[in-house]
Structure 1
Amino acid sequence: MSENMSDKWVDYAVRIQSIAQAGLAYCEDKYGRERYEELRKISAEMISAKTDIPLEKVYDLFCNESGYQTPKLDTRGAVFIDGKILLVRENNGTWSLPGGWCDVDLSVAENTEKEVLEETGLSVHCKKLIAVQDWRRHNRLNCPYGIMKFFVLCEYDSGEFKENIETTETRLFDRNALPDNLADEKTTAEQIRLCFEYYDNPHKETCLE
């Protein structure tokens, strides 16, 4: 997806889609529902026009839910070993904290531990919630819906990297030597440095922003 996702018009389209979806969920009037459906189509057309995504794909991603629209949840594990943070190399060559979408039957802690195990081969246990962040305020936008990101401080238990379908390797990084090619739609340098702050001071209050 294009970096034009950060364009203000895309933000407007997301808001229109949210209003339309709520209207479709609660409106019982036939003509009112037709108007909300038309607004939903217009919002998808706006997204398509501002990105390189075909309209059909945008509509599948953007307008495939019913009921009141809520953000998706993404969990990221901050695993420290010998004072360095563990990052995973994505299939496209970029680096990020291990993590992913939160499964509907798992807690934030359970999902974080599962994602770390799947992407790194390491067994960890969650120690503290570092931060909950609105993705739109911190990351490169490349999805047509809202995302809340949970960063969790984890303690390494055992294991070593295992080949998997999502990542190609793991590596430990010092806070002053982070890779240049971060997957900044998933993890930014600022977010990694925030994790270091909580590693240094585990009693610091959870950051909500």
Structure 2
Amino acid sequence: MGKWLEWAIELQSLAQAGLTYGKDIYDKERYERIRDISAEIVSNYTDIEIEKVKDLFCNEVGYQTPKLDTRAAIFEEGKILLVRENNGKWSLPGGWVDVNVSVKENTIKEVKEESGLDVSADKIIAVQDRAKHNLPVYAYGVCKVFVLCSVLGGQFVENIETTEFQYFGEFEIPELAEEKNNLEQIKMCFRAYRSENWETEFD
């Protein structure tokens, strides 16, 4: 992670805390400006439009915390299920945890939306700090939860996010959407599937 991004993240976090807990109207104006500067830094170094940066990076209130993402690991005859995204790359079914559902509920919901399958969410494989595992680095924190699941029924349904799903062996993994899951993480899921006494990994 470049120093510029570390500085931008720290400025954003300090500004958000100030906006949450500060009382003085003039101090709040200063915190708003600091927050704007943090977004300008990210926009300048990434060529992402400033409004998009603000939407992703400066859209929360309260104390700064990571976003939560779930990824489902589903196996059949020793192969793992991956969904094909609109850009042609593959990923474990998953996505941001909605505010009104639990990690377990979100895992089940995302699998249904992206693959059409009904599953049970059985075991937490890992809880990872995205910044330690995936590229590109994001300007906001993400906590990734990998969940071992079992298929109960269902079939693929057309949707706006994915075009198909397939099962792949450990040594035939296709091109991955690495910002969401990489080969290291897929192999971790295989180890968890094969283990009789898997202990949750966490950063």
The interval holding the TM-score normalised by the smaller chain is over 0.9
Match of 2:197 among 192, 195, 203: 203
Matched, 1:184 2:178: yes
| SS class of match (2:72) | strand
138-147 or 183-192, larger mean C-alpha shift: 138-147
Asked if the contact 1:76/1:152 (under 8 Å) is kept, the reply is yes
| SS class of match (2:132) | helix
| 1:10-89 superposed matches below 5 A | 10-89=5-84
CA distance in 2, matches of 1:166, 1:75: 16
CA RMSD after TM alignment: 1.3
| 1:103-118 superposed matches below 5 A | 103-118=98-113
| 1:89-128 superposed matches below 5 A | 89-128=84-123
Task: Give the % identical residues.
Answer: 58
CA distance in 1, matches of 2:86, 2:137: 17
CA distance in 1, matches of 2:10, 2:97: 23
CA distance in 1, matches of 2:157, 2:25: 54
CA distance in 1, matches of 2:180, 2:3: 20
Asked if the contact 2:116/2:157 (under 8 Å) is kept, the reply is yes
TM (normalized to structure 2)? 0.95
| SS class of match (1:168) | strand
* Corresponding residue of 1:174: 169
Where does the alignment leave 5 or more consecutive residues of structure 2 unmatched? none
Asked if the contact 2:131/2:138 (under 8 Å) is kept, the reply is no
| SS class of match (1:76) | strand
Residues 155-200 of structure 1, C-alpha deviations (whole Å, 9 max, x = no match): 1111221111110011111111111x21111011100100011001
Instruction: Report the CA distance between 1:113 and its aligned residue.
Output: 0.7
Instruction: Report the CA distance between 1:62 and its aligned residue.
Output: 1.7
Asked if the contact 2:125/2:192 (under 8 Å) is kept, the reply is yes
* Corresponding residue of 1:3: none
Matched, 1:153 2:148: yes
Where does the alignment leave 5 or more consecutive residues of structure 1 unmatched? 1-5
CA distance in 2, matches of 1:64, 1:106: 20
**Equivalent pairs, count:** 203
> Displaced runs of 4+ in structure 1, greater than 6 A?
none
CA distance in 2, matches of 1:198, 1:175: 13
